[in-house]
A and B are shown apart, each in its own frame.
Chain A
Amino acid sequence: MTLYTCLFYVLAVAIVTTTGIAITQRNLVHAVIYLVFSFFGSALLFYLLGAPLLAALEVIVYAGAIMVLFLFIIMMVKMESIEERMPPLGQWLPAVLCGILYLALGAVVVYTAPGSEFPLQTAMATPVELGKYLFQRHWLSIEIVSLLLLVAIIGALHLGKRKETGGTEEP
């Protein structure tokens, strides 16, 4: 066990635990905070695996922006406390089945995949290398993704646009 392996397992346990707590917490703000910790852990994992740019982006985008928006909405909306009761069978049975299936598949893939017994070489992706790799080899997919985001932005603009007929417009 090298230092990196130790760090990896510590981080992995932390991520799984915080994500689990985030799912089971009834206090929504606490759940969001645990999710932030989980994202933070994943960012550290990225850093450990040699992708500092991805680590920084994970913290900025997920932990820093998206989770703040979650928090914002939770703080704006008055939360009714949900009474403790089991959801009906029809709701949780499919979820449990899917979960078991996913776990089984994951285990099969991990144990039968070729090369799973060889440790991978640690790579170091500096921002420059990562950028060149992405924009030289995968420029088409990046363009497609950015187009998708553009469509989403335009859609949001259309939905949020005020009706011109209703009421007086503010000067």
Chain B
Amino acid sequence: MASALEAVKALASGFATTFMHLFRKPITEEYPEYKRVLPARSRARIILTRDPDGEERCVACYLCSAVCPVSCISMQSAEREDGRRYAAWFRINFARCIYCGLCEEACPTSAIQLSPFFETCEREILKLVYEKEDLLVSHQGKDKEYNFYKVAGVVTALGGKGEHFREDPPVDIKTNLP
């Protein structure tokens, strides 16, 4: 008898809880009308950023392409006259991309980054193949400061041998002679 009473009490409290829910405002966020601001580091559409000087960061090292688990990144490297490497073309197939972020982790120059923008649906699948001009943006993304060629020790217009950040001048090997 006591257990029956307990059961009735438990049932009643359950029904009361759901009844109270009727008068609460639904917690649903109605998506197309209300768009929640996503955190800066959430992983969605991939962008190619530029360094603070406005030059392309990508040096076409193929690391992102190699690490990509679904092989959706492809590119062709080229070299400018001043010694900077760049991608002659750069292509990401977003129909295959799984937004894992491994390319961003692999990138030595902070060029490839994932941005919070996710509304990339298309009716035609080929429109999801993004070329370099679609990917390239005119800002630095999440990494505002980094400029690869200022620290890399590669001779470019940004500096000759020994002129980079924390780089000693080149050793004159002849001074080592006895």
A and B touching (C-beta < 8 Å)? no
